Every structure is written in structure tokens, then in C-alpha cells.
Amino acid sequence: MIFKSLSKIQSDLNHNETTILELVETYLSNINKHETNNAFVEVFAEEARHRAEQLDGKFKNNPDAMGPLFGAVISIKDNLCYENHQVSAGSKMLANFTSPYSATVVQRLIDADAIIIGRTNCDEFSMGSTSETSFYGPVKNAVNVEHVAGGSSGGAAVSIKLNQCLAAIGSDTGGSIRQPASFNGVLGFKPTYGIVSRWGLIAYGSSLDAIGVLSHDVSTISDIINVISGQDQYDSTMLQEPVPQLKLEQFDLSHFKIATLTELVQHQKLDSSVKNSFDLFIKNEGLNVEEISFPLTEYLVPAYYILCCAEASSNLSRFDGIRYGHKSSEDVENFNQQIKNSRTEGFGLEVKKRIILGNYVLSEGYYDAYFKKAQQVRSLIKTFIDDLFDKYDFIILPTTTSEAWLLGESTKDPIEMYLADMYTVLANLCGIPAINIPLTNKNSILPLGIQILAKSGNDGRILSFVSNLSNASKA
């Protein structure tokens, strides 16, 4: 497949070498061709064609009036609201819900002349690392359909790898963009917490959720982040200071001091193929990397799951089948039984487990023992990483412990699936930007990935770093 950056697409449009409608038709053809991968929950085919015709007409009449994302055909994860379109977060609970408004991110894409081609499949309420918990069935890996796509933004990653859109908007709570990006061999960027509005995102863990971008090209990611980031009156958790426009800069990578964390890169669960590819990447790029001991490693996953499940139990309490959400048709004697039946039928097993865990750690007698301690551990982790960035420019880590698992493999041992998040949750606990970079796996056709992490607010710097890598600016 031939993958083009947004700038190349816009150049082709300017030279009359293609039209926006032709681009849309190419992507729709690829979606139909790879339908068995189950990347999309819904494809907005006729709507995308109609909008493409409108934008082609606008471009012909006044090319200077085009928005910054003209020519960009983008998929959105099925947890982002889009006015007068269904959104379900991959759950039976919201299977027939139509959003009355658009998420800030979605509206900004449309205002910038992008085209939304469809909503991508994901783990139910973004709870999972495989995209197997979706009400609509599992997403299958773009490279080998017998393997998982990763999660929770599995459909987003597959839609990029199979050239079904130029870019995909996903969400990342503990690695939900970066991990499937690794499993499918694409770039996946989680920005600094608070620079992209979460208004219109169906929340999982509100203090951890971040909306980000997947694509093949780092300049395309930068262009899209520039459009969707910035102040929003509807999101009180946004950073108060203005968000600068990102600019990709050229520099010598060998001048940067880069840290890696000893306990993670030498962890017993890290597959040798990942470690070998990780070491080879550092060597080939000539990076100046130092190992630093991270004594809080063993607390990463427990702290993350306590906090995200606690927040999820609160966020998902609104789905009761009364105002919206699945409503049980069973005859009941009282109001409480109606809600119980609706939630029992509407939520899948993984979501139920996390709601129960969240309620447990917030309950009287356990709040101090679990939730409060997890908050304290998070503070310690953030302080350690902030101090590390006083001495180092970036952190480099593997993205996952291994290549993509076989379908059904991780659901047999959910603890192993949770532990595999140890490399990605760090960025969410600290609110810092992180990006997956695809690596070649010499032992298999399945891709691998590494992460670059940077100090909070250094989104432009991290993308510039990737753009200067010899093999990573295009995945």
C-alpha cells in the first residue's frame, strides 16, 4: 500500500492529480476489502461522498478558502460524540444511542474541512487491551487476522494500517492508542493531558483519558493536533495556559540525553524479541541512552487499575436505562430491580469487573487502604518522572511486552493482560506526551513498537524527535 502524508495529499490536490472524492473512494474500497478485520462499527459512506463533492467544489471555486485539514479523511473511535450519529463505546448499553451534539475534537475536525469516514471498533467503554470486549465482536490484527489488534483503540490502529483513512482519532487511558499502534505497526500519539478537550468523549478514567491521533506520518499527526488542541470552555480540566502550535524542527538526535528505566527494560516479562529490537533501534539511531533505576516500577499497574476503575465506577453510574442507555424489558416489581436488570444486560463482563473493583476501592473501610494509597503512589511516580526530566530530554521504553497475542489468549488470563500495560500506563499517570514508533520484528511478520516519552507540554519536541529518526517519520 502507498501511504501519503496530509501535505502530499494537499500537494496532489493543488496540482489536480487527484480529488477529495477519489481519496474517499479509495478508503471506502479498502474498508470493504478488509471488512473481516472488523475495524469499523459504522461507515459513513454516502455522507463522506457527499461531503467530498462539496469540498471539491469549494476547492475548485476558492482554494484559498480551504481549511487546514482539507483532503484529510479521518476515522473516529466509537466513544466520541458526533451530532446526529450513533455512538456506543462498543457497548450494548449504548447500542442505539444517537448523540445530540459533537465532541469538541470532532467539531474542530469538521470546521477544518476534514471528512469523518466512520466510527471505529474498540473495547467496551475502552476497557481492555485487545479490542475483544466490544459488543460488535473483536477487531482482528491488520497483519495477521489470527491475532488481536490491541486495545482499546484497536479499530483505529487497524484502519490506519490497512489504509482505510489518513488518520484516526483514538483515546488513551493507559496505552489505548500506543499499544494497538505497536501491535499493528503504525504511529500512535498520546498528547499531554489537558491540551486536547475531552468534551464529548465517553469517559473511562477522567484524570487519565487523553484523545490522540494515529497515522503513518508524524507531520500528519502534528497537523491534526494543531487543529484539535487548544482551550475549550466545555472542559474545565484543560491546561490554563495557551497551547502553542506545534512545529517540526530539525536537530541532531545524538545531542539529546535519553533515559530508559532499568526495571522495565530488564523485566522478566519482556520478550527477548522486543528487547533485541529495542536495543538494535537505539544502536542504529545512535541515541545517547542511559539506564536509570525506577524503584516504583512494581506499583505502576496496581496504582493505575485502582484509580481508573474507581473513576470508571463513578463515570458509568449514569448508565441506568432510565434517561438513556439499554433498558431491560423484563417485568419488575420495583425501580431498583429495573436498574439492576438494565445494567446487568447492558454491560459486558470486563466492564462489570472493573465497576465492582472501582466500587470496592471507594467503599468505606477500603478507601484509605487502596484508593488513597494509589493516589499517593501516583504522586510519587509523577514527582520521580518530573525530576528525571530535569536531567534528561526524553525517556525511551518498549511499548509492549511482546508482539500481538492470539485471539482469545489474553482473555484466559486477564491478569497477564493487565500486567502488559506496565510500559504504557506511566505516561497517563504522569499526564505526559508519549508516542509509539513501529519496529521491525526479525522473528515474525507481526510488528513491535517502542515509546518516546517527554516532559509535560513538550508535544512539539517529541514529534520533532520522531521526525528526525531515520526510519520512523513514516510507519
Q: How many CA atoms lie within 13 A of 73 on its CB side?
A: 33
Q: How many CA atoms lie within 13 A of 222 on its CB side?
A: 23
- Where do we find the cell 462499527? 41
- Give the integer Cα–Cα distance in Å for 223 and 189: 12
Classify burial at 277, counting beta carbons within 10 Å of its beta carbon; exposed 0-12, middle 13-18, buried 19 or more: buried
**Which residue type does 374 have?**
A
> Which among 339, 325, 349, 342 has a CA at the least distance from the CA of 127?
349
Which H or E run includes 73? strand 73-77
- Give the integer Cα–Cα distance in Å for 419 and 417: 6
Q: Give counts: helices (H), strands (E), the chain.
A: 16, 11
* Distances 74 to 18, 36, 115, 340 between C-alpha atoms, Å: 18, 20, 6, 38
List the catalytic residues. 77, 152, 176
CA 442 to chain centre: 26
> Which among 475, 422, 431 has a CA at the least distance from the CA of 453?
431
What pairs with residue 291 in β-bridges? 260
DSSP 8-state assignment for residue 369: I
At 214 the three-state DSSP class reads: strand
**Which residue type does 123 have?**
D
Strand 434-439 to 40-43 pairing? unpaired
- Give the integer Cα–Cα distance in Å for 177 and 182: 9
* Distances 375 to 207, 234, 299, 455, 464 between C-alpha atoms, Å: 11, 26, 11, 20, 33
- Give the integer Cα–Cα distance in Å for 228 and 116: 14
- Give the integer Cα–Cα distance in Å for 163 and 415: 33
